[in-house]
């Protein structure tokens, strides 16, 4: 019984152990350019509508 409890405690400690840092990866390519184009397009539409409705 104590061996299984010990294994559970060890597994929990391993799960919460500090791991290496995560760094963002530089992304290039067609889909990244498309993503940025869509971000700009939606922002332009949003701000144009906001300005027009505010008048």
Overall domain count for the chain: 1
Rounded Cα distance between 32 and 54, Å, is 33
- Which tens digits make up the pLDDT trace of 8-46? 788 778 777 777 888 888 889 999 999 999 999 999 999
The pLDDT, as a whole number, for residue 53 is 84
How far is CA 35 from each of CA 8, 42, 47, rounded to the nearest angstrom? 44, 11, 18
Domain extent for 39: 27-55
| Residue 42 resides in a domain | yes
Q: Which two tokens stand for residue 4?
A: 């299984």
The pLDDT, as a whole number, for residue 2 is 59
| Residue 47 resides in a domain | yes
| Residue 46 resides in a domain | yes
Backbone φ and ψ for 41, nearest 5 degrees, come out as: -60, -45
Q: Model pTM?
A: 0.52
The pLDDT, as a whole number, for residue 3 is 66
Q: Which two tokens stand for residue 49?
A: 């509508």
Rounded Cα distance between 39 and 46, Å, is 11
The pLDDT, as a whole number, for residue 45 is 95
């Amino acid at each position: 019984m104590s061996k299984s409890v010990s294994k559970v405690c060890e597994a929990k400690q391993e799960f919460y152990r500090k791991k290496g840092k995560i760094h963002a990866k530089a992304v290039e390519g067609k889909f990244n350019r498309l993503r940025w184009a869509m971000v700009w397009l939606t922002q332009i539409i949003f701000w144009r509508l906001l300005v027009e409705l505010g008048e």
